[in-house]
Chain A
């Protein structure tokens, strides 16, 4: 039994848990809820085993010792670890707030991400480390960054749910904001889905973005398709804006109060921010100092981390000094996670710089 076996089990468990969580939301039976939680925990344990096994496989293969063989060296491995943190964070929230509504959202993200990694087949490949990554700081820096990213992801979903639940009028700025953000999210996912269907390729994500992304829609050579893509984008935004209140009706059934969501948003950021500061920025700086001879070089990844840091610092200040609550800070939390996504993926894929390991 190798790591991919356990990754397979956890993928199935998360997808199964998603279905049971949705059933639970529909029927609200305690037993169903407990089943969903149990399966999620089983998936989590299996994924933990898988990560440990992969770690060992890597250590055996590279002969570089345990500390330097953490499976966190490329986009796929980091995505797996991100999913792991996300599930852990979710389970903590479930136990602390005694509310399972979140599960129906988190488990599908986890399951689909793992399934995607599995289908692409790249996860089985173990790549040797380039000299710059051979450091004990790799473990601390990357691991803590992703724990923070997962915490920010939770704050994002809680913040978005908060906005969905509390906005009323279509003319309200916060309503326009979340419908727009969600519509863009849907459009990007849909466009990528069309790319997959059109080109039928499963390649490394770096390659996908460089050579295929949006080629079946926005970047198509045909002007007709280009125009159609833009029209459907506008239509999606309009539909989301016009019928967004339906989501609110669904959300109301979840039996989770906006105050709880606001608190989850804040707590996730309050935990994520210091971890990000220490693990992401400070450990990153110390490592950069050792490897490159400069602790801060305004490399795109560093700069984007700093921008992310500023946004969350702003969130904390607006809450603590200005006493903002609710919609205003929820918007900041949503924007903050957009910066996180760009720091994590966008920088590696779109910009060049010293941190270009993901694209190697």
Chain B
């Protein structure tokens, strides 16, 4: 008695998880809560979402609604316990649903096909007939060839007054849906691996600096196991606009004091070392270091010789083969000159670095002016030499997204198999065909019965093709 009661409970639980209704409820819950999650900005400052809520509920209700939503975890809902619970429930549902139906489907897949009676063949939705001249033994080969032409290999059985050919194709395609469902679990498993064995962090690395750690979003420090150095950072713009074309960081990996890897990374092309990947994410100017960077000039003298200078604000340099010397007076990260000659810095990013240099000849002030990194025409001195402003180095940092995710390949594996699974589940059908040929008044009646679990119309066309092939052969044979 006790046992039976237990069993019914287990059965009930099983049925509950195997039901399509539960799947629908989970689909709906994940979707509906996710909609709220897209309206409320996730992991954002409270003020932002209070603004959003004010638009929906009005000024007076917004703070109250905010605290309700916050208590329910909607401000970071994709990491909340109840959303995780929904995903787990979803996985359990997939597993149980699949297991519940698997034995039945497996039986259909494995079931061998055998000859059927004429009545049964005629009962199929796709059922065709044609009468051919000659006895079954004579037309047998024509029929066989027609079946072969349609792309089927077949089994054959002898009957009282004729033969029967039967075959099935694509029976394993019924498992496509299991590949698909299993792939979803693989993808989720990959995500879980990433959560437990990987980390997601960031690192703001100034030009010339080295770090052996990264920082997670919750502020924890994660040792990298090696050193990463930012040699240089640069933004390339489209033409003379302020529209960025490329963000570039020159990185070096140093392990045990030795340089092991050097790479220029840009957005869409990260650096990976020992499973840790560095992505170009953002950048910025360190205003407190703005005065202490290194100006890099390449001076090209009249005869084409070049020499490179690394200088600081206030430094002097001599232009080779002349008596001219320059002194760095001022700097602007983003210089703008108005039409009436006014000069100002228009943004606090390095959008248009410019350096103001006083030039003197034999100690006497000659002229002074702005040299702009992005405008090569400002580099030319009237005496012939060119002062190329290559970079103002050491004042920018590169913002790197740092990630280790050993689960990502599991996720991709799941992505591959889900594509294959979907293709099989939607486009390959399980087709069965029976062809019976029987003697009828010295002629042969050909009866074809066929069934397909999807795309019946296409299969019916194929059967029609077999019939027309047979009738054509018949005419040809006359």
Contact = CB atoms under 8 A, between A and B. Distances in A.
Interface of A: 128, 130-132, 134-135, 263, 270, 273-274, 277-278, 282, 285-287, 289-296, 298, 300, 303-304, 306-307, 310-311, 313-314, 316-317, 320-322, 347, 351-353
A292 B405 CA distance: 13
B422 interface: yes
Given A293-B277, A298-B78, A278 B419 contact: yes
A304 B457 CA distance: 34
A132 B267 contact: yes
B276 to A, nearest CB: 11
A60 B449 CA distance: 59
B279 A300 contact: no
B268 A134 contact: yes
Interface string B247-268: 1000000000000000000111
Contacts of B243: 128, 130
Contacts of B418: 277, 282
Contacts of A274: 419, 422-423, 426
Interface stretch (B33-41, B148-156, B304-312): B33-41
B132 interface: no
Contacts of A273: 422, 426
A298 B412 contact: no
Contacts of A352: 41
Contact of B403 (A131, A293, A320, A347): A293
Chain B interface category by residue count: 35 or more
A163 B277 CA distance: 52
12 contacts: A128-B238, A273-B426, A274-B422, A274-B423, A277-B418, A277-B422, A287-B268, A292-B279, A292-B281, A303-B37, A311-B31, A317-B20
Interface stretch (B22-30, B317-325, B380-388): B22-30
Contacts of B175: none
B38 A300 contact: yes
Nearest to A285: B415
Interface string B417-455: 011001100110000000000000000000000000000
Contacts of B20: 317, 321-322
A282 B31 contact: no
Interface of B: 20, 23-24, 27, 30-31, 34-35, 37-39, 41-42, 78, 177, 191, 200, 238, 243-247, 266-270, 277, 279-281, 401-403, 408, 411-412, 415, 418-419, 422-423, 426-427, 457
B244 A131 contact: yes
B37 A291 contact: no
B401 A293 contact: yes
B39 A131 contact: no
Residue among B41, B247, B269, B426 with max Cβ neighbours from chain A (10 Å):
B426
B473 to A, nearest CB: 28
B181 to A, nearest CB: 11
Contacts of B245: 128, 131
A307 B34 contact: yes
A295 to B, nearest CB: 6
Contact of B270 (A270, A287, A290): A290
Contacts of A278: 419, 422
Residue among A273, A290, A306 with max Cβ neighbours from chain B (10 Å):
A290
B39 A282 contact: no
A74 to B, nearest CB: 14
Nearest to B453: A320
Contacts of B35: 303, 307
B38 A296 contact: no
Contacts of B78: 298
Residue among B23, B243, B270, B415 with max Cβ neighbours from chain A (10 Å):
B415
B41 to A, nearest CB: 7
A294 B405 CA distance: 9
Contacts of A320: 177
Residue among A270, A298, A300, A353 with max Cβ neighbours from chain B (10 Å):
A298
Nearest to A316: B426
A295 B267 contact: no
A322 B30 CA distance: 21
A131 B281 contact: no
Contacts of A316: 426
Contacts of A321: 20
A343 to B, nearest CB: 10
Contacts of B30: 310
A84 to B, nearest CB: 24
Contacts of B269: 290
Nearest to A307: B31
B34 A303 contact: yes
Nearest to A300: B38
Given A307-B31, A307-B35, A310-B31, A294 B267 contact: no
A298 B37 contact: yes
A317 B23 contact: yes
Residue among B23, B30, B38 with max Cβ neighbours from chain A (10 Å):
B38
B270 A293 contact: yes
A295 B408 contact: yes
10 closest cross-chain pairs (CB), A and B: A293-B279, A300-B38, A293-B401, A131-B267, A274-B422, A298-B78, A135-B268, A282-B415, A128-B238, A307-B31
A292 B38 contact: no
